[in-house]
Chain A
């Protein structure tokens, strides 16, 4: 058995400490060690974007980072978006209302890509949204309803601020 490394990490505001092999990918660590299965694993080589999470607030591919590298860092997964069981994040709500998902496999990665994107670009054009989505593959929707959902979320953000 290869040696285990201690990982102390904050995920969705909660502190965890686990022992893990160095080769454990962060995506597998989140799912198997912490039971946070909202982060999905698609291609495992950085192409599909399904495993996107926030690492110190920035979106990254969790399949291209080892869990040991998260030691001392803060992570947000899709489980950390909704305020409560009853209240979705505004972007999640918009995905629901605009039918921004079908099978849902890509959705968590897309949400984790778009939450920081919308914070930086609260009023994006369709072109900017499509460009922001270029690192996330969806094989069901043809993207149109995802783009609609982001537009709707941007509107909701704007209205909620006025």
Chain B
């Protein structure tokens, strides 16, 4: 339960960090909050030859608002995201989700970029990034690119990042007007990995008819799972209990692929998905309605 020997590098800037990572190729691992990497090293599941500590890089710790939406630096602590007023105002779904991530003791160290780059299928932040159509900025010594969240997550603990790239920022576009969102999950204890969870983002028109919908699930496959057919069932309809039920059934029965684990069978996870989807959609539509002064039943 002790980590193996590694070379420890404290870069004085992001550019130096990128140069060190480029030099060592896949042998160097960036150390963000360490709340997943250090346990993996303690178990010796991960044995990186070089650790590049990003913690001193204040240039990656920020929450900013500009014309494109909200930009959050990769090394921004999850606890800061949770408490940031700009996040609460501009990305209410992200704000609502943060307290579900582990415990305060973990969020005080854990970073938004670290969780996204780790790409745990049971984690909340990848689901939120996909649900909100976030863009992930990756930088290497040779340049920078922006990756849509839906393309970023490629499998269990697998992302579109190249070995020489660092995730430096995540950008959340402004929520469209007349939109509502909700995140719900079920865990055995507060702070545990959820057995199932879902983010719902919907947009309605002036008659409360659904115009856009997105449902994204955690612990429901090998990454954030988007239920496209379920969302399709909602388009053009009033969010009646029947419409919501149909969407929940579609997602739970046909679109998610939960593996089951020691705490829950796959059947039980599907059951949870059905119940949680109904709750999330109901709340998201209510919030969308409130945003335009409608009372949605």
Contacts and interface: CB of A to CB of B under 8 A. Distances in A.
Interface of A: 2, 5, 21-23, 25, 28, 44-46, 49, 52, 55, 58-61, 63-66, 68-69, 113, 117, 130-132, 134-135
Given A64-B34, A134-B189, A59 B105 contact: yes
Contact of B38 (A5, A52, A65, A117): A65
Contact of B5 (A21, A49, A63): A21
Interface of B: 1-8, 34-35, 38-39, 41-43, 51, 53, 55, 79, 102-106, 108-109, 189-191
B103 A135 contact: yes
Given A46-B106, A60-B108, A64-B109, 20 more contacts: A22-B6, A23-B2, A25-B2, A25-B42, A44-B42, A45-B39, A46-B38, A52-B105, A58-B79, A59-B104, A61-B109, A64-B39, A65-B34, A65-B38, A66-B3, A66-B34, A69-B53, A134-B191, A135-B106, A135-B191
A45 B43 contact: yes
Nearest to B190: A134
Contacts of B190: 130-131, 134
Q: Which of B5, B35, B43, B105 has the most CB of A within 10 A?
A: B105
Contacts of A60: 105, 108-109
Contacts of A65: 34, 38, 109
Contact of B106 (A25, A44, A55, A61): A61
A137 B108 CA distance: 19
Contacts, number: 84
B34 A135 contact: no
Contacts of B109: 55, 60-61, 64-65
Contacts of A64: 34-35, 38-39, 106, 109
A55 B106 CA distance: 12
User: DSSP class of A's interface residues: helix, strand, loop or mixed?
Assistant: mixed
A5 B55 CA distance: 17
A68 B8 contact: yes
B105 A113 contact: yes
Contacts of A28: 2
A131 B43 CA distance: 28
A46 B8 contact: no
A29 B146 CA distance: 40
Contacts of B53: 68-69
B38 A66 contact: yes
Contacts of B189: 134
A23 B4 contact: yes
A135 B41 CA distance: 21
B35 A23 contact: no
Given A66-B38, A134-B191, A23 B103 contact: no
Contacts of B41: 23
Given A131-B190, A135-B105, A23 B5 contact: yes
A106 B115 CA distance: 27
A92 B31 CA distance: 35
